[in-house]
């Protein structure tokens, strides 16, 4: 991922980087493209854990996302200290992820950059994006509903912030 000072650098973070954050990445990329703003953004995702390092997004997640027209192409990787430094917004899917990133950030590299996906939600304000890994199909649909809402809110926020 080529982060640079002229782009707005966004990374979505969940636990395994195979369900929620790859979906957030795919949805946000799609909304940014609809708005013709691809050139202004670097968009990535990562996990707090490395269990699924190198894996494609979960097949169930890809199937549900695909039905809504999103293609999930990321490969799982663990969040690293470089990410904390390079990205402008580090967006956690749930409060456990938020706490884990805070603890990992011993040097305060993410100070002022760490936020929750639900900070930008209108409909799902205040709610974690729940881990769908052990649940049924409804869980994947809920994740997508929440991420569509949050990603739209995030872009509206950034449009104002950067006068896009």
Place of tokens 């027209």: 69
Task: Clarify whether 106 is annotated catalytic.
Answer: no
- Say how many C-beta atoms besides its own lie within 10 A of residue 55's C-beta: 15
Strand boundaries in 2-157, DSSP class E = 8-14, 41-47, 89-92, 114-116
The one catalytic residue in 94, 105, 128, 131 is: 131
In this complex, which beta carbon is closest to ligand 4NP, that of residue 14 or of residue 154?
14
146 in Cβ contact with 91 (< 8 Å): no
Cβ neighbours of residue 73 closer than 8 Å, sequence gap 6 or more: 26
Applying CB under 6 A, does 131 fall inside the site for ligand 4NP? yes
Q: Which stretch binds ligand 4NP (CB under 6 A): 17-25, 84-92, 120-128, 153-161?
A: 17-25
Q: How far is CA 164 from CA 24, 38, 41, 148, 153, in A?
A: 21, 11, 11, 20, 14
Q: Does 150 bind ligand 4NP (CB under 6 A)?
A: no
77 binds ligand 4NP (CB under 6 A): no
The stretch among 14-22, 82-90, 99-107, 113-121 that binds ligand 4NP (CB under 6 A) is: 14-22
- 43-72 footprint of ligand 4NP as x/- string (CB under 6 A): --------x---------------------
- Contact residues: ligand 4NP, CB under 6 A: 14-20, 51, 131, 133
């Amino acid at each position: 991922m080529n982060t640079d000072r002229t782009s707005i650098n966004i990374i979505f973070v969940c636990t395994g980087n195979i369900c929620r954050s790859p979906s957030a990445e795919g949805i946000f990329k799609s909304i940014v493209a609809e708005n013709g703003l691809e050139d202004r953004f670097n968009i990535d995702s990562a996990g707090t854990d490395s269990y699924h390092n190198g894996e494609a997004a979960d097949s169930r997640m890809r199937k549900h996302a695909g039905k809504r027209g999103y293609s999930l192409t990321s490969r799982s990787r663990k969040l690293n200290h470089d990410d904390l430094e390079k990205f402008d917004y580090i967006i956690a899917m749930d409060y456990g992820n938020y706490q884990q990133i805070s603890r990992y950030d011993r040097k305060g590299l993410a100070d002022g950059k760490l936020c929750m996906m639900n900070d930008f939600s209108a409909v799902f304000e205040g709610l974690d994006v729940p881990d769908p890994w052990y649940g049924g199909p409804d869980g994947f649909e809920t994740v997508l509903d929440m991420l569509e809402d949050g990603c739209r809110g995030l872009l509206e926020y950034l449009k104002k912030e950067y006068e896009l």
